[in-house]
A and B are shown apart, each in its own frame.
Chain A
Amino acid sequence: DGGITQSPKYLFRKEGQNVTLSCEQNLNHDAMYWYRQDPGQGLRLIYYSQIVNDFQKGDIAEGYSVSREKKESFPLTVTSAQKNPTAFYLCASSILGGNQPQHFGDGTRLSIL
């Protein structure tokens, strides 16, 4: 079945370490997105990409980096510069065009040891 796969489901990081969250989709979607969600809060956009080898910063990009080398993959790296990385991270994809919905993965929960 087509969908979005995020891995791992749970991730633990030591202070000062970089960590990479995986997001893969087999929906043939051009656009991919990364969101951060804190407890009891809505989703905030970190980065998004509309085409391979191109991406744009969202509202809270500081301390994060992304790459889009393949259409299917949009990994997110949480760097040591992100001072409060503990959160639920959601990846999404969509077809380009305003009348197209987003499809979400099941998320990765990142915690600091």
Chain B
Amino acid sequence: DAKTTQPNSMESNEEEPVHLPCNHSTISGTDYIHWYRQLPSQGPEYVIHGLTSNVNNRMASLAIAEDRKSSTLILHRATLRDAAVYYCILRDNFNKFYFGSGTKLNVKP
């Protein structure tokens, strides 16, 4: 069974914020939450990661629920270049990454 659950697709308007949800109810205390995005026929690109606290970087913000059973990737102002498949992933203590099926984000001009 997948360790993470994400909606299959989401749509956003350009220049508006996007909140991409992820459920990981079986997360263990030492699992890190990673987010990647993938364009067609390319390898995934790292976006952001965190353990317990909310995180910000130049690409996005990551909001982690207090019980760590869910998280949200926030793109503050979506652009057309943000259209991609976004993966929420758990990384365990044994250096394994668990990919879900991802959310396809469509950005409308």
Residues on A lying within 8 angstroms of B by beta carbon are: 4, 31, 33, 35, 41-45, 48, 50, 58, 88, 90, 92, 94, 96-99, 101-107, 109
B41–A41 touching, CB < 8 Å: no
Note all chain B residues with C-beta closer than 8 A to A92.
Answer: 43
| Nearest-Cβ distance from residue B24 to partner chain A, whole angstroms | 14
**How far does the alpha carbon of A88 sit from the alpha carbon of B38 in the complex, in Å?**
13
A43 touches B96 (CB 8 A): no
Contact A98 B96 (CB under 8 A): no
Contact A107 B42, beta carbon cutoff 8 Å: yes
Q: Beyond the given A45-B96, A98-B95, A99-B49, could you list 5 further A-B residue pairs with CB under 8 A, ordered by the A residue number?
A: A42-B101, A99-B32, A102-B36, A102-B97, A104-B44
Chain A residues with CB below 8 A from B91, complex form:
98
- Shortest beta-carbon distance, B103 to chain A, in Å? 10
User: How many A-B Cβ pairs are below 8 Å?
Assistant: 59
A99-B32, A99-B49 given as contacts; is B44 within 8 A of A43 (CB)?
yes
Interface residues of B (CB under 8 A from A): 30-32, 34, 36, 41-46, 49, 51, 87, 91-93, 95-97, 99-102
Q: Name the one of A43, A44, A88, A96 contacting B41, with C-beta atoms under 8 angstroms.
A: A88
For A50, give the chain B residue with the smallest CB separation. Answer: B95
Establish whether residues B97 and A42, one from each chain, have CB atoms under 8 Å apart when the complex forms.
no
Some 25 contacts from A to B, beta carbons below 8 A apart, are A4-B43, A33-B97, A35-B99, A42-B99, A43-B44, A45-B96, A45-B97, A45-B99, A48-B95, A48-B96, A58-B96, A88-B41, A98-B91, A98-B93, A98-B95, A99-B32, A102-B36, A102-B44, A102-B97, A103-B46, A104-B45, A106-B42, A107-B41, A107-B43, A109-B41
CB-nearest residue of chain A relative to B6?
Answer: A42
Do residues B100 and A42 form an inter-chain contact, with CB atoms below 8 A? yes
